[in-house]
Structure 1
Amino acid sequence: MTSHETDQALSSARNTLDRVRLQSFDTLPGTRAVSRRPRQRRSVAKRVAAIGVANAAILFAAAIIGIAIMPIGLFGALAVLMMMAAVTLAIAFAPGPRPVTHEKLARSDLKALPMQTTRWLDAQRPALPAPAVQIADRIGLRLDTLGKQLQTVGDETPAGADIRRLVGEQLPDFVRDYQRVPPELRATERNGKTPDRQLIEGLELIEREIGQMSEELARGDLDSLETRGRFLEMKYKDGDPA
């Protein structure tokens, strides 16, 4: 699917969401489910690891002092325990990273854009239906891969511009358009589809587009590797590097 076709598909879905938002139907809200965030679990694991490292450092320092300088004694041991407790509480209750805003996405460097978009998308999960949450998880995995590939892609290149438009503009705009639809209307059918269905199909389209962009970047890397291999083979095939 071309970039123009993607724009048209997302624009059509957004228009449907806008039309539904303007209606005043009285229907029951659709079921919402929020699964645990994989990145949230990783964040907890990082905090636990940091607590372990900090406490190990405190114990190591206390052991060095007790062996090389002077015995720490009972009061020293209590001081060590209090210090470990203080460090544990400080790390456990330290504020997390500031939430990513739509404006921050627009200003993000291309190389950091996938990670910033993933953080923004994670924060929207409570407002998404369960099937959309699953697609958001897949998009997050796609963005993780894409972020690694963008380290050598310039913002001024056509690929960079397409990625910025899809990841930094179309994806957040589409999700925000869905969120503007009143919850009681999201399961209401309009023109053959509900806003929930429009959201799911739009996110699936975006996931496919991100995957295709990632594959194109990977093919470029493979093509470059193949070209370099052929050059070296031609250059050294006779055992003469000159």
Structure 2
Amino acid sequence: MPTPRSQEVDAQIERAREVMARISQDYRGAGRRVRRKATSLLRRLIAIALANAALLVAAIVAGLILPGGIGLFGALAVMFLMVAVTLGIALAPAGRAPSPAKLAQVDIKALPAQTERWLEAQRPMLPAPAATLIDRIGLRLDTLSPQLAAVSNDSAEAQEVRRLIGEQLPAFVRDYERVPDTLRRVERNGRTPDAQLVDGLRLIEQEIADMTGRLAQTDLDSLSTRGRFLEMKYREGEGTN
């Protein structure tokens, strides 16, 4: 029978595991943000390189066709165009995140990625404690997305997912954003709006994880059945040889 001391040690070990799991999730979330920014930068660099290459090719072709070439002024014009194109692409604003109204209509297979884009756009307007939960929700949405590949838009599963991440999550965050900044850290009914936001995001994260598990249940059952079949066919078969 476990003693109170051993129970306390087990509880401390479990708490340490939970902390390590949260730290791991935080690092994964930060890594995803870095990769997303790096991907965006790489796309801009490729676009700049292609646009400038097209201008150079056009200038060379024009120089070959025109009797006197493009001349000094033509070369300067090409240089100015290349600088303008480079600055235009480099400084162009990123694509706008979808609106909540758009999220309510997007195809279920694209909904997790679109919801994550919308949630990332809200990050600057949310308190610091919510940032970690945004990263965790992003990871949950990444895991959920493949599970929706075979789900029909009209199915009960799709409607459940849409209600949570396409309707309730945006509505919850927007309710918080409408609260005046001066009142967000003022207690009301024992909790501040900041605390309510964090608690709500934590519940949403867990519900997305539960949804992913339910959607994957068929695959998990199939894997378990296949594993038992292999054990019966090969491991138990070895004992009869």
Is the pair's TM-score, using the shorter chain for normalization, greater than 0.5? yes
Judging changes above 3 Å, is the alpha-carbon distance between structure 1 residues 227 and 200 closer, same or farther for their aligned structure 2 residues?
same
Q: Give the root-mean-square deviation of aligned CA atoms.
A: 3.7
TM-score, normalised relative to structure 2: 0.65
Which has the greater radius of gyration?
A: 2
Number of residue pairs matched by the alignment: 197
Q: Does 1:215 align with 2:179?
A: no
**Higher helix share goes to which structure?**
2
- Tell me whether 1:44 sits opposite 2:27 in the alignment: no
Shift of 1:201: 0.8
For 1:189, what is the secondary structure of its paired residue?
coil
Residue 211 of structure 1 deviates from its aligned partner by 1.8
* Residue identity matched to 2:49: G
Consecutive unaligned residues of structure 1, counting only runs of 5 or more, are 1-34, 235-242
| Partner secondary structure for residue 140 of structure 2 | helix
Which runs of 5 or more structure 2 residues have no equivalent in the other structure?
Answer: 1-29, 233-241
Amino acid of the structure 2 residue aligned with 1:126? P
Residue 142 in structure 1 maps to residue 140 in structure 2: yes
- Compared CA separation, residues 228 and 156, structure 1 to 2 (3 A): farther
Shift of 1:86: 3.5
How many Å apart are 1:166 and its aligned residue? 0.7
Residues 214 and 54 of structure 1: CA distance in aligned 2, closer, same or farther (over 3 Å): farther
Deviation of the 1:175 alpha carbon:
0.8
1:189-230 CA-to-partner distances (Å, cap 9, x unmatched) read: 222221111110110111111122223333433444566788
Name the counterpart of 1:22: none
Q: In 1, Cα distance between the equivalents of 2:180 and 2:186?
A: 10
Matches of 1:114 and 1:193 in 2, distance apart? 30
- Cα distance in 2 for residues equivalent to 1:50 and 1:118: 25
Structure 1 CA distance, aligned partners of 2:222 and 2:88?
48
Over 3 Å counting, the alpha-carbon distance change for 1:51 and 1:141 in structure 2 is farther
SS in 2 for 1:135: helix
Deviation per residue, 1:82-104 (Å, 9 max, x gap): 44323313322444323422211
Rounded to whole Å, the distance in 2 between the matches of 1:156 and 1:230 is 34
Is 2:59–2:78's contact at 8 Å kept on the other side of the alignment?
no
Per the TM alignment, residue 156 of structure 1 is displaced from its structure 2 partner at its CA by 2.2
From 87, 105, 108, the counterpart of 2:106: 108
1:127-184, CA deviations, whole angstroms, 9 ceiling, x for partnerless residues?
Answer: 2100102211221222223223322111222221211111011111111121222211
What is the identity, as a one-letter code, of the residue corresponding to 2:89?
I
Distance 1:69 1:222 in 2: 66
Which residue pairs with 1:199 in the alignment?
197
Question: Do the aligned residues in 2 keep the contact of 1:62 with 1:80 (CA within 8 Å)?
Answer: no
After superposing the two structures, state which structure 1 stretch, 72-81 or 131-140, moved more.
Answer: 72-81
d(CA) in 2 for partners of 1:227 and 1:85? 62
Cα separation, partners in 2 of 1:127 and 1:41, compared to 1, 3 Å: farther
| Contact residue 132 and residue 203 of structure 1 kept, 8 A | yes
**1:108 Cα deviation (Å)?**
1.4
* Contact 1:186 1:194 (C-alpha < 8 Å) held by counterparts: yes
Cα distance in 2 for partners of 1:194, 1:95 equals 34
Aligned sequence identity (%): 59
Aligned pair partner of 2:131 in 130, 133, 137:
133
SS at match of 1:107: coil
